[in-house]
Structure 1
């Protein structure tokens, strides 16, 4: 084999050629999976649409003099409730990216064509981060913008936070949270060897379990979703809260621990046929 041929088919661990091939392959898979594409589009459209609907309902209740119907929400920030539940979409996206291969047996073919498991795992993470980031940016800023159709966003009472910097921090906090919780779900799907199990675990924790535990023990605030939610809490923080910086660090530690565990296990796990 000539030197040029060896360069073309260089698959040494950590080489740029290996990683570029892996990322291209994972990108192609994502773009050809209808469920993943539908999840991205559906998450964006639903969060934006529901943000507009909720803002309208809250604003209508306040204008009619029935603030009790608004459940403590105001038109300017009501869309944050929708964004909290919007994480369902990116959790599904992250979990399914691993499930569709391991469940169908195509992961074996992937590792035959690219035996460097670390490269495969990293490439999947890169593609997931990119897909979730795009989804989050469109959803978050689309939802923040659509509320201006229902309310006067120039009014002081309709501002998301007290300053433009604080507003930017809240919106980018949601985006960062979505990316990190998706990475955590992806890593957990590798650890559990099941995207569905990972998705169920994270959704149950984020939407049910931690909400219940936080009323029982202060330690619940260190759970991934509770800590991460601090990234987009409106300032000033409530006494006893971790705050955006500490909450973000705690979630990042969870994600790092999950990724390290996933990497160690994935390198040794037998691949299902």
Structure 2
């Protein structure tokens, strides 16, 4: 009887030692864990929010993007999408999803289209990066690369300085790519800056092979998202002339607090805090 108990205890010890290894092996390997962080600040109109939703859905389910996934070393990616505005507003649209075939991509796109966007005040790119980094820490897959794909139509004006969030993410091995929306006609033009693409390149993006694809017309949006996803899935360094690489250069210093300064100036001028 004593020998039986000893063997039983030994079996429990071996099970306890082997369980973490078994769990680690159970986590599927993917080529990239990719977070789509989508701006819904009030500077964007309802029509622009709808165009944005349809553009992401069309790009994700496109044959070109699915083909890029299939050509990866593992032939699969982990994808999730959330909307952001101020430092306290984050809303998950589609949680972590494994995509390795057309049906998965179409299902993800359908979920994107079934939901509605609701704009919120202020713009906290730093908050979006922080939340995306936290989501990447919780991804239920083992990824070769970790990427944040962030879109927006204005500079950071709420929460921590954007460079602090960017640097923290990059130090953790995350690449941040940017899709600055340099369109006109939205309700918040007073918060816009003419060189938003430069702002994104100098202040927002970072990490290995990071890049920026500016959008100057909403008609370009679906194609820009599709090209951006293909580059991110493949881990390629961009070569297209419309793509700006986010790399260190000996340029003049850039004011990455320009958004916060615009907000303070308008607040003092009009005495409001929407």
Which TM-score applies when normalising by structure 2? Answer: 0.29
Higher helix proportion: 1
Higher strand proportion: 2
